[in-house]
Structure 1
Amino acid sequence: MAYRSGNYAAFYVSEPFHESNLGASATRDFVSYNLLRAWKGSDSTFPFNDSHNKNYNVRDGSDWEKTLKPRLRNRLSNSKNIVLFLSSVTVSSRALREEMNYGIGTLGLPVIVIYPEYSEKSDIANSSGGIKKKIKDLWDKLPAFRNNMDSVPTIHVPYKKQLIKSALNDEDFMINTKKSAGASYYTLD
């Protein structure tokens, strides 16, 4: 198996997308992704290796079949996992469906799911064990994720830097060392 070093960040932005567009920067999922990039920029030891920096940028108006889809697939193929930002504003866009279906369904990439609207373990996990219904309900916003997630290891993480760092460092959620498929989360202390 090829060595894959990148973390493929998947997030919702309205289409067509262009990073310099104010609309994209105002979308919660994209802002959350940018904060991971900022954490990496200010601390080189932060374990986020952005797969989006690995090949040509995409531009507004690029052809989906000839340009965008092949570049997404190339980035996914060179990634060790998917970092999915899932929030109340997430919409099942063409790009997110492709990322989930190809990344999980075809490549078998583990998924680190980050919930930008939640900051504590107790926001994700029940005190009796298990993932809370409000989190599971978010999975319905992205059926391509919900329908594929049982085939790969996933970890569900609140938006807290230390927990995200732990998930990014966890070899159980990397393609070459992944554990068995199933949902994981940080238990309450």
Structure 2
Amino acid sequence: MSRTRNYTAFYVAEPFNSSTLGAHATRDFCYYNLLRSWKGADSTFPFLDAHDTTYNVRDSSDWELTLRPRLRERIRNSKNLILFLSSSTTNSRALREEVDYAINDQGLPVIVIYPDYETKESLLTNNNLSDEVKNLWGKLPVLRDSMSKVPTIHVPMNKALIEKTLKDPDFMLATKIQPGVFRYSP
């Protein structure tokens, strides 16, 4: 199986239904849609959506029989995990499952995008990731507790930096670098 896709994880209120206005109004889901729109506007933008690799699921789908296996199949098609981590992110069952399976079972490198920040400098204090950024990791303990197992890169909501990161072989499964916490220097 070729791992050419980017699996995107983001918080949405549960139960989730992508066809309702509620899902589209959820902040983290809107950031995922922004990636998709960048790809739609420019076919060379290096985002290949793993969510397009299996058919969609609905609210009424059973977690164990349908939802969880579908998430895992999409992750197994992926070369990395893109995680939107914002002030509105909540530690939901689906998000925990996605991050845990991607890191602890599949060993996917993680690209953490912080929508509340716009520049690489805004993520930093004294040239290190700020306490405010690190505190966001506590919103998703499985991420915080598993980051030492895979390379993670932390980037602001900046199209040029996201594009650069998506092209970086250091954050792709087949060519990933050693585990660690990485960020771009100003």
Instruction: Calculate the TM-score normalised by the size of structure 1.
Output: 0.97
TM alignment of 1:1-189, pairs within 5 A:
2-126=1-125, 128-188=126-186
- Residue by residue over 1:22-80, the C-alpha shift from the partner in whole angstroms, topping out at 9 and shown as x without a partner, is 11111111000100000000000000000000011111110000000000000001100
- Residue by residue over 1:70-127, the C-alpha shift from the partner in whole angstroms, topping out at 9 and shown as x without a partner, is 000000011000000000000011111101111101110000000111101111122x
**Identity between Structure 1 and Structure 2 (%):** 58
Count residues in correspondence.
Answer: 186
RMSD: 0.8
Partners of 2:146 and 2:20 in 1: how far apart? 31
Partners of 1:107 and 1:180 in 2: how far apart? 15
Unaligned ranges ≥5, structure 2: none
Unaligned ranges ≥5, structure 1: none
Partners of 1:3 and 1:65 in 2: how far apart? 26
Instruction: Calculate the TM-score normalised by the size of structure 2.
Output: 0.98
Instruction: Answer yes or no: is the 8 Å Cα contact 1:80–1:176 preserved in 2.
Output: yes
Q: Which amino acid aligns with 1:55?
A: T
Q: Which amino acid aligns with 1:109?
A: L
Partners of 1:93 and 1:105 in 2: how far apart? 17
> What SS does structure 2 have at the residue aligned with 1:108?
coil
Partners of 1:106 and 1:180 in 2: how far apart? 17
Instruction: Answer yes or no: is the 8 Å Cα contact 1:125–1:185 preserved in 2.
Output: no
